[in-house]
């Protein structure tokens, strides 16, 4: 049964709201330096519990006339007429929220799905619990992934089970999407995986599973797995049954169980992933010299605040960060303004705690500089110079 608030309905609601705001603001001459972004585009982080349907950015004309002027009540009425409300986030953006009720719940699922899809990347391994939790809870959503996203998700679940995983190129892979290698005292075990993201009514036939079995024979693989979001025709099942377990067939319900296993295996306390000894060694390595593993971020709405962190581990797309204590270099006599640097002495290792170690996305910009984003702050390599702070509000 089709939901009252399916994805298309929700997307049209947002489009309608944005169009009405744009028309209204242009009519009043305040649509200057204004526009809309999604929360994911603006923050690139996990959606909040109360879903933000969109973020509106605005210039001084809108702020003066609408948020602090004679048009405020009319604007509130417009937003309310669509079943939404807004909050002034930081003086230059508005967050628009749905009123409580079934539609708000539907929006929460809608934006959680967008967030989960943004996490399906080949290099994230088991960093994100949300990715596995979603599909463990809602295996039918596997149909909403692209075929490549489905392959990547499978590769990550196998990796979480301890396999050495080689994800194929996606095209021209010779009929094998993933190769799994399991180290064994009496000889390594090679498993070939074929993934098919098909609609439920499109069942896998004998020809496809027989082809995988044939490839396994040529490559001398001990096992082969066929994994699909649909199901199998009787002839395909009979063929697999005659292979004495060498060829195994799996469906979405099996993938959901693998996701559950991967989710349960993720360590929530990220600090336990790194030993205190390795942190002490890392601090000793970066101390006294400029090192790209020491990161810095600054910002604040009415104050200027600094955050220094240490990169504990990283891959191409993800990283584990640990906060560093700050050391004041100079101040105004009251400790309200001055400069500070990160403290990199051995005492910093005491911050290896659950609350001080977290994950971040890692990316390289067009100039080749590496950036890190944790959903709240953007970090880059510290330049080695004392950073200004200002606590005066």
Is 383 in a helix, a strand, or coil?
Answer: coil
Crossing angle of the two packed helices 129-137 and 102-119, in degrees rounded to 10: 120
Percent of the chain with pLDDT strictly greater than 70: 90
Is it the case that residue 122 has pLDDT exceeding 60?
no
Characterize the bridge pairing of strands 326-331 and 318-323: unpaired
Is it the case that residue 127 has pLDDT exceeding 50?
no
* 237 bridge partner residues: none
pLDDT tens for residues 61-102?
A: 999 999 888 999 999 999 999 999 999 988 889 999 999 999
Residue 234, C-beta contacts closer than 8 angstroms, at least 6 positions apart: none
pLDDT tens for residues 1-43?
A: 345 777 788 989 999 999 999 999 999 999 999 999 998 888 7
Which candidate, 75, 96, 99, 78, places its Cα nearest to that of 87?
96
* Burial (CB count within 10 angstroms: exposed 0-12, middle 13-18, buried 19+), residue 333: exposed
pLDDT at 1: 39
Is it the case that residue 58 has pLDDT exceeding 70?
yes
Cα separation, 74 vs 69, whole angstroms: 10
The predicted model gives 278-288 an average pLDDT of 89
pLDDT tens for residues 302-313?
A: 789 999 999 988
Q: What are the extents of the domains in the chain?
A: 7-108, 122-264, 271-390
pLDDT tens for residues 236-247?
A: 999 999 998 899
Q: Largest Cα–Cα distance in the chain? A: 83
Characterize the bridge pairing of strands 223-228 and 189-196: parallel
- CATH 3.90.420.10 correct for 122-264: no
Under a CB-based contact definition with an 8 Å cutoff, are residues 216 and 247 in contact? yes
Where would I find the beta strands (DSSP E) of 315-369?
318-323, 326-331, 337-342, 357-364
């Amino acid at each position: 049964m089709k939901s009252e608030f399916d994805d298309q309905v929700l997307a049209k609601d947002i489009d309608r709201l944005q169009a009405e705001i744009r028309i209204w603001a242009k009519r009043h001459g305040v649509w200057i330096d204004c526009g809309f972004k999604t929360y994911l585009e603006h923050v690139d982080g996990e959606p909040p519990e109360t879903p933000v349907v969109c973020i509106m950015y605005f210039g001084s004309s809108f702020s003066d006339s609408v948020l602090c002027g004679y048009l405020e009540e009319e604007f509130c009425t417009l937003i309310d007429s669509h079943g939404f409300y807004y909050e002034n986030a930081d003086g230059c953006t508005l967050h628009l929220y749905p009123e409580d009720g079934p539609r708000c719940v539907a929006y929460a699922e809608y934006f959680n799905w967008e967030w989960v899809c943004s996490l399906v990347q080949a290099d994230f391994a088991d960093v994100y619990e949300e990715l596995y939790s979603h599909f463990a809870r809602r295996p039918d959503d596997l149909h909403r992934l692209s075929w490549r996203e489905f392959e990547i998700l499978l590769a990550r679940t196998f990796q979480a089970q301890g396999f050495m995983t080689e994800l194929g190129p996606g095209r021209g892979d010779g009929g094998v999407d993933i190769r799994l290698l399991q180290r064994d005292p009496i000889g390594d075990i090679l498993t070939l995986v074929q993934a098919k993201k098909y609609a439920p009514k499109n069942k896998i036939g004998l020809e496809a599973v027989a082809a995988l079995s044939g490839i396994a024979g040529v490559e001398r693989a001990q096992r082969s797995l066929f994994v699909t979001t649909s199901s199998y025709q009787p002839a395909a099942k009979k063929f697999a049954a005659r292979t004495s377990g060498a060829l195994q067939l799996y469906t979405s319900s099996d993938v959901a169980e693998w996701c559950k296993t991967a989710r349960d295996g993720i360590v929530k306390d990220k600090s336990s992933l790194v030993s205190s000894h390795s942190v002490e060694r890392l601090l000793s390595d970066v101390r006294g010299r400029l090192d790209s593993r020491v990161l810095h971020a600054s910002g604040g709405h009415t104050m200027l605040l600094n955050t220094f962190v240490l990169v504990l581990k990283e891959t191409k797309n993800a990283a584990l960060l640990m906060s560093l204590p700050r050391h004041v270099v100079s101040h105004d006599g009251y400790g309200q303004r001055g400069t500070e640097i990160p403290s990199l002495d051995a005492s910093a290792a005491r911050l290896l705690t659950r609350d001080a170690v977290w994950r971040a996305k890692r990316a390289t910009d067009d100039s080749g500089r590496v950036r890190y984003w944790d959903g709240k702050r953007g970090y880059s390599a510290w330049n080695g110079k004392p950073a200004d702070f200002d606590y005066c509000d």
